[in-house]
Amino acid sequence: MKMPALGALAALAAVLSLSCSPANVMATADGGDATAVESACHAYAYAYCTHLETCSTTTLQTRFSAIGTCESLYVASCVNAMESPSTAGTVATRNACTDAIPGWACADFIQGQNPPPGCVVQAGSLPEGAGCAFNSQCQSSFCGLPGGSACGTCAPQPVAGAPCVFTQCGQGLSCALNSMTCIVPALEGASCVNSFCSTGLACIGGKCTLPASGLGSPCDYAGAGCNFVSGLVCNGESNTCVTATLALPGQACGMVGGQQQNCAAGLCVEGACVGDPLVGEACQLDGPPCYNDTRCVLPGDGGVVGTCLVVGTLACE
């Protein structure tokens, strides 16, 4: 398990303290106060992170390393979202999503596809062109956030076939980075020549293919392999599915012992894992990414080294 540095923990605690401070709380649409907002966000973060762990422990570990980090970051970003100007988010809407999360199909949930009605982003009141940090602030339900910036701009939701906006697309769509076009990820058996496959599928011979999903099942390392979402990888020496292991910062990654070894919340650089930077730590857009729901915010002077911040920490006008 990745252990954050004391300085990073202090920075995260400071962010959480600022986010939850009564002096920082704006009135929510339903008249809720800081206590109600914080309570709703804790319940939401717990539901989100435990469902992620239930659906795929390996996905949780590759994104956050540990469930406690997941919950801390989602509490902080949730509070920021519910306090953001002109948001449609309320305690009631957040609770509705919290209640719906356990029923969200795992394959869709992991990829953020087909959310249940309670988790569909509602339209805020900010017009096109206004500054924003969250989709729920905008009349279009879409906030385009450029890389390296804490703030974006309300814009029409990019639809299927439309160009991505800073690698982002409308609800239910993903950005195909090779063409920078918004697409619906392909399902099993569909072509992946100009697309990519939904979570848990592999693109083999131009078609999305279901990998082997049982421990000890025969597999082809050069083919569909094994279902990593289920915690399996294909061992190229035995050609069978074995339990996936995740490397910590500084440990070996890539091809290890005849099988692929990924990093827990980190990036494999020249055969060794480099940990993702935590809140308050330095980051670069071409380096290990900041954790989910945090962003690498670059300085306005053109510098390439920024700081990982929880989404919505800075005010956007």
pLDDT recorded at residue 300: 82
pLDDT recorded at residue 194: 76
Q: Provide the residue ranges of all domains of the chain, joining segments of one domain with +.
A: 6-122+277-310, 201-274
Using the structure block, give the residue that is written with the tokens 């100007």.
85
Please list the pLDDT of the chain residue by residue as tens digits (317 residues).
333 333 333 344 443 333 333 333 334 434 457 899 999 999 999 999 999 999 999 999 999 999 999 999 999 999 999 999 999 999 999 999 999 999 999 988 998 888 999 999 999 999 999 999 999 999 999 999 999 999 999 999 999 999 999 889 888 788 888 888 998 888 889 988 877 888 788 888 899 999 998 999 999 888 889 999 999 999 999 999 999 999 999 999 999 988 999 999 999 999 999 999 999 999 999 989 999 889 999 998 888 999 999 999 998 87
Q: What gap in Å lies between CA 254 and CA 268, rounded to an integer?
A: 7
254-263: b (≥16 Cβ within 10 Å) or e: eeeeebbbbb
pTM, to two decimals: 0.84
φ/ψ (deg, to 5) at 252: -70, 145
